[in-house]
């Protein structure tokens, strides 16, 4: 199949190059950055020039030789984007969900790009897609569901970014760039009301405090009731209750020096995500539990009884909540040392406190309940020296970074905590062990060698006292250093070559303390290790026409190794090796028809090795997350993105992504039976979106803009085992928006509907090994609302 797509892309590429200078009989498009005469193209009817910092320097999107999607503040608003996870909906080959590992943790951003990401949200494993805010790396997936507050743009970089962005960007990087304070007084106030009692308010202001000092302040409150509920106790899930703020200062003590200081804080108090029961499969441990419950005359057995007909309902009895505080500060100092040389430093601190609770069963009985408390603190210091040389033909950047993080996770796990009391209520030792036929216990006393549970005072019942519940206290310290450099040389007026390289070293120290886990008493373990890697990037860019570029890129990515945070009573903290990816990419960027049409695309092939595979197992009834190096996969595919202004008032955009992932080699000793040929999780074969809008010019009455958005995702597997019960079939969603802007531009009122057709879909799924449950996390149903905004 890939050969067919390769031929299609090659034909498309050649046709674009051929048609570029003659499209619609017009002259070649002007170079990016030049002005288009107003008489030839009405204002607002050409594709905007977008400035990005994807290569750690400001340059036009169309000059960057990598696959890159950018959303500015207007584009985010037009698409009714609420937080960073919505960005994945409109970006080809990108999936971002709010859960991973434990499905109830609604504030954990799990991102996958081109088939590469990480499901596990434990502190012992790192993300494979780097998330950055103003150049600062966010190490934890917890707290990474960012409100897009006072954002200038979001840049999504596909493919390994190991040279300039460093470790943990094997899939790519998502860079959020916030607005800098302005020397002119301005701001805005907005409010949003909608379904599920939605009540959002946002305010921002910026302006001068002094001749050389500007400031900005942005505040946001988000409130929505839950759309899922428990039929057992009426509890609601999937609500939103967040408050966030951001303060930024810009000081220019000298003409060639700028100092940017910012701080942010977010507070969340939510019920967490619902987990619906998709199916129950018989297992020895579940059969044992059911027989004990029935023998004691307690709750009905765990069978299909607890399945519901409503996609947004379950029978969970466990109180679920997510209480989280995230905060941080950064200091960026820029010094223009000369016309051709500049220095920048980025200093940062970030903190996180998370307390959450939920279950892994969605039934009234307490089969598995988890209560983690996570605290994390990180600091980083980055230095960048950049410049131009050789008559401006060589553009380069050199840098180094020091990073340290200290996360801690104290976690309580209760497994079948009511089983002991059920066994005590059973009239005699009549419940056989898991996997042993009941006939050996009933009728009559057990035959020799058969030890059966049940009956008040039966010593065997004590094995389930506390339900094998355990408490763990994990402490990790990570220290990373890196040196990097990249240079682009203009070989000729049309040909440029880029070479970059990075050396990374990661040291990790891990303490593990556990009580009452697996009935082995206390475990107090320690391990340390060091990993290092060299990650180069090489690319060639050829400017076929002033607004048409071809490029070829080869790059390596690296994600540091770690430790299996669940030693399973073995007394060994087993480390696992780093992930590595080698990717090749061929792409093109075109502005056609006097910049009325932008058509960008890329085809890629990646060799993905030592994949970090996280699986949820059951060992002696205890849910255990195991992280191992699963093997090697091959990934191939393409992206194609279009934006056009076909006629006055019209704007059309569309994109499509294709990703073919295949696990071609399974590493020996993998804990779960993973087969060759399976697809990687969270990686739909096809993804894409399309939008159309028209601006009705009402003269002095303003502008009226109706807009439709459609997004599509083909079938998604939510685990590496490709479990069909938790797979999400192909689905599409439609958003609609109608906005009116006053003639002055100060007032705007917009009505919107998201998921117009009320499509039911899963954002995540998990099969807790051994228990027999298949769980899914439902996505948001149809919602509507109205937003009013005033700018000053």
Region 407-435: mean pLDDT is 86
- Model confidence at 28, pLDDT cuts 50, 70, 90, reads very low
pLDDT band at 19 (very low <50, low <70, confident <90, very high): very low
Is it the case that residue 15 has pLDDT exceeding 90?
no
What would the pLDDT profile of 751-777 be if each residue is shown by its tens digit?
A: 999 999 999 999 999 887 667 888 999
Tokens 């790059």, residue located: 555
Residue 305 lies in a domain: no
Q: Is residue 477 within 8 Å of residue 504, measured between CB atoms? A: no
Flag whether 449 is in a domain: no
* Cis ω before 662 (30° cut-off from 0): no
Q: Give the DSSP letter string of 688-726.
A: EEEEEEE-EE-GGG-EEEEEEEEEEE--B-SSTT--GGG
pLDDT of 568 reads: 60
pLDDT > 60? residue 431: yes
Percent of the chain with pLDDT over 70: 88
Stated as kind and residue range, the H or E segment containing 784 is strand 783-791
Task: Report the distance separating Cα 29 and Cα 597, nearest Å.
Answer: 10
Burial of 22 (0-12, 13-18, 19+ CB in 10 A): exposed
Separation of alpha carbons 606 and 633, rounded Å = 8
**Pairwise CA distance, residues 336 & 731, whole Å:** 51
Tokens of 332: 């960026």
Predicted confidence band at 2 (pLDDT cuts at 50, 70, 90)?
very low
pLDDT digits (tens, 9 = 90+) for 167-194: 899 999 999 999 999 999 999 999 999 9
Q: Quick one: pLDDT at residue 38?
A: 30
Whichever domain contains 75, its CATH number is 2.40.170.20
| pLDDT tens by residue, 206-230 | 999 999 999 999 999 999 999 999 9
- Among 16-20, 102-106, 433-437, where is mean pLDDT lowest? 16-20
Position 165 in a domain: yes
pLDDT value of position 623: 54
Tokens describing residue 710: 């459609």
Q: State the Cα–Cα distance between residues 295 and 438, nearest whole angstrom.
A: 12
* Three-state SS annotation for 344-396: EEEEEEEEEEEEEEEECCCCCCCCEEEEEEEEEEEEEEEEEEEEEECCCCEEE
Peptide bond just before 443 cis, omega within 30 deg: yes
Backbone torsions φ then ψ of 309, nearest 5 degrees: -85, -15
The Cα 720–Cα 680 span in angstroms is 6
* Average pLDDT score over the chain: 87
pLDDT at residue 83 in the model: 85
Domain-embedded: residue 442? no
- The predicted-structure confidence for 29-88, as pLDDT tens digits, reads as follows 333 333 333 333 344 578 888 899 989 888 999 999 999 999 999 999 999 988 888 999
For the chain, how many structural domains are there in total? 1
Does residue 619 register a pLDDT over 80?
no
Distance CA 610, CA 659 (A): 20
Across the range 128-143, mean pLDDT stands at 89
* pLDDT tens, residue by residue, 724-752: 999 999 999 999 999 999 999 999 999 99
Alpha helices for 156-297 (secondary structure H): 284-295
**What is the pLDDT, as a whole number, of residue 107?**
76
Pick from 55-69, 627-641, 712-726, 766-780: least confident = 766-780
Helix (H) or strand (E) holding 485: strand 470-490
Planar angle of CA 700, 706, 708, nearest 5 degrees: 160
Give the CB-side neighbour count of residue 167, counting CA atoms within 13 A. Answer: 30
pLDDT > 50? residue 405: yes
- Does 340 score more than 90 pLDDT? yes
The yes-or-no verdict on residue 671 having pLDDT over 60 is yes
Could you read off the pLDDT of 447-475 as tens digits, one per residue? 555 678 888 988 888 877 765 567 889 99
User: Mean pLDDT lowest for which of 11-15, 254-258, 454-458, 696-700?
Assistant: 11-15
> Could you report the per-residue pLDDT of 278-327, keeping only the tens digit for each?
988 888 888 888 888 888 888 777 778 889 989 999 999 888 899 999 99
Q: Which residue has the higher pLDDT, 245 or 546?
A: 245
Asked if residue 128 belongs to a domain, the reply is: yes
Q: Does residue 250 fall inside a structural domain?
A: yes
**Torsional sign, CA 667, 672, 673, 676:** negative
- List b or e across 243-258, with b for residues whose CB sees 16 or more CB atoms inside 10 angstroms: bbbbbbbbbbeeeeeb
Query: Which neighbouring-strand residues pair with 788?
Result: 191, 749
Question: Quick check: is 550 in a domain?
Answer: yes
What integer pLDDT is reported at residue 707 of this predicted model?
A: 98
pTM over 0.85: yes
> How many CB atoms are located within 10 Å of the residue 306 CB?
22
pLDDT-derived band at 570, boundaries 50, 70, 90: low
Q: Give pLDDT, residue 31.
A: 39
- Asked if residue 65 is part of any domain, the answer here is yes
Q: Is residue 374 predicted with pLDDT exceeding 70?
A: yes
Q: Please write the tens of the pLDDT for every residue from 510-559.
A: 999 887 644 456 788 899 999 999 999 999 999 998 889 999 999 999 99
- Residue 285: predicted pLDDT: 82
For 667, the domain range is: 2-275+316-417+469-791
Per-residue pLDDT, 18: 38
pLDDT mean over 595-609: 96
Give the torsion sign (CA, 593, 594, 596, 601): positive
- Residue 431, strand partner residues: 453
Which residue in 318, 226, 316 sits closest to 273, CA to CA? 226
């Amino acid at each position: 199949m890939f050969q067919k797509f390769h031929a299609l892309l090659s034909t498309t590429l050649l046709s674009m190059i051929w048609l570029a200078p003659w499209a619609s009989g017009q002259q070649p498009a002007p170079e990016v950055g030049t002005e288009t005469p107003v008489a030839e193209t009405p204002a607002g009817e050409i594709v905007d020039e977008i400035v990005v910092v994807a290569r750690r320097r400001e340059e036009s999107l169309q000059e960057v030789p990598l696959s890159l999607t950018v959303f500015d503040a207007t584009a985010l608003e037009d698409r009714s984007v609420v937080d960073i996870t919505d960005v994945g909906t409109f970006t080809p080959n990108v999936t971002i969900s709010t859960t991973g590992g434990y499905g109830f943790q609604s504030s954990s951003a799990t991102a996958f790009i081109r088939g590469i990401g990480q499901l596990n949200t434990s502190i012992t494993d790192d993300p494979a897609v780097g998330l950055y805010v103003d150049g600062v790396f966010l190490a934890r997936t917890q707290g990474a569901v960012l409100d897009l507050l006072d954002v200038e743009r979001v840049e999504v970089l596909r493919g390994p970014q190991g040279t300039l962005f460093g470790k943990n960007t094997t899939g790519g990087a998502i860079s959020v760039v916030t607005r800098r304070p302005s020397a002119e007084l301005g701001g805005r106030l907005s409010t949003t009301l909608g379904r599920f009692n939605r009540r959002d308010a946002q305010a921002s202001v910026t302006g001068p405090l002094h001749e050389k000092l500007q400031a900005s302040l942005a505040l946001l409150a988000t409130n929505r009731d839950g759309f899922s509920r428990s039929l057992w106790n009426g509890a609601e899930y999937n609500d939103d209750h967040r408050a966030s703020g951001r303060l930024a200062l810009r000081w220019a003590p000298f003409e060639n020096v700028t100092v940017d200081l910012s701080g942010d804080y977010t507070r969340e108090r939510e019920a967490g995500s619902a987990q619906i029961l998709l199916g129950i499969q018989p297992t020895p441990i579940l059969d044992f539990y059911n027989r004990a419950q029935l023998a004691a005359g307690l709750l009905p057995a765990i069978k299909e009884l607890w399945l519901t007909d409503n996609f947004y309902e379950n029978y969970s009895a466990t109180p679920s909540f997510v209480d989280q505080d995230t905060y941080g500060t950064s200091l960026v100092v820029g010094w223009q040392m000369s016309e051709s040389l500049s220095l920048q430093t980025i200093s940062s601190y970030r903190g996180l406190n998370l307390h959450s609770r939920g279950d892994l069963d969605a039934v009234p009985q307490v089969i598995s309940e988890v209560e983690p408390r996570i605290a994390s603190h990180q600091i980083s210091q980055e230095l960048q020296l950049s410049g131009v040389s050789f008559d401006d033909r060589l553009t380069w950047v050199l840098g180094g970074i020091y990073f340290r993080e200290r996360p801690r996770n104290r976690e309580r796990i209760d497994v079948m905590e009511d089983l002991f009391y059920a066994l005590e209520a059973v009239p005699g030792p009549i419940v056989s062990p898991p996997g042993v036929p009941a006939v050996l216990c009933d009728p009559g006393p057990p035959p020799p060698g058969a030890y059966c549970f049940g009956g008040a005072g039966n010593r065997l019942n004590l094995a389930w006292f506390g339900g094998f519940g355990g408490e763990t206290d994990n402490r990790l310290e990570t220290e990373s250093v890196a040196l990097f450099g990249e240079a682009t040389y203009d070989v000729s007026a049309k040909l440029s070559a880029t070479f970059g390289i990075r050396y990374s070293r990661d040291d990790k120290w891990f303490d593990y303390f556990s009580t009452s886990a697996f009935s082995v008493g206390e475990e107090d373990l320690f391990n340390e290790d060091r990993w290092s890697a060299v990650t180069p990037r090489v690319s060639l860019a050829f400017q076929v026409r002033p607004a048409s570029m071809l490029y070829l890129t080869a790059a390596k990515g690296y994600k540091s190794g770690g430790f299996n945070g669940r030693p399973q009573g073995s007394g060994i903290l087993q480390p696992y090796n780093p992930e590595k990816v080698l990717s090749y990419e061929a792409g093109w960027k075109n502005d056609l028809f006097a910049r009325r049409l932008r058509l960008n695309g890329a085809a890629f092939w990646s060799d993905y090795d030592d994949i970090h595979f996280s699986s949820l197992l059951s060992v002696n009834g205890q849910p255990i997350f195991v992280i191992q190096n699963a093997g090697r996969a091959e990934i191939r595919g393409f992206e194609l993105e279009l934006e056009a202004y076909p006629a006055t008032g019209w704007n059309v955009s569309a994109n499509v992504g294709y990703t073919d992932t295949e696990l071609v080699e399974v590493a020996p000793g993998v804990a779960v039976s993973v087969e060759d040929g399976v697809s990687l999780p969270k990686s739909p074969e096809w993804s894409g979106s399309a939008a159309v809008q028209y601006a009705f010019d009402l003269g002095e009455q303003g502008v009226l803009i109706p807009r439709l958005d459609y997004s599509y995702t083909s079938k998604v597997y939510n685990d590496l085992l490709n479990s069909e019960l938790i797979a999400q079939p192909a689905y599409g969603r439609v958003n609609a928006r109608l906005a009116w802007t006053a003639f002055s531009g100060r007032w705007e009122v917009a009505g919107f509907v998201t998921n117009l057709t009320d499509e039911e879909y899963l954002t995540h799924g998990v099969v807790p090994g051994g228990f027999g449950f298949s769980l899914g996390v439902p996505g948001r149903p149809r919602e509507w609302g109205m937003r009013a905004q005033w700018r000053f």
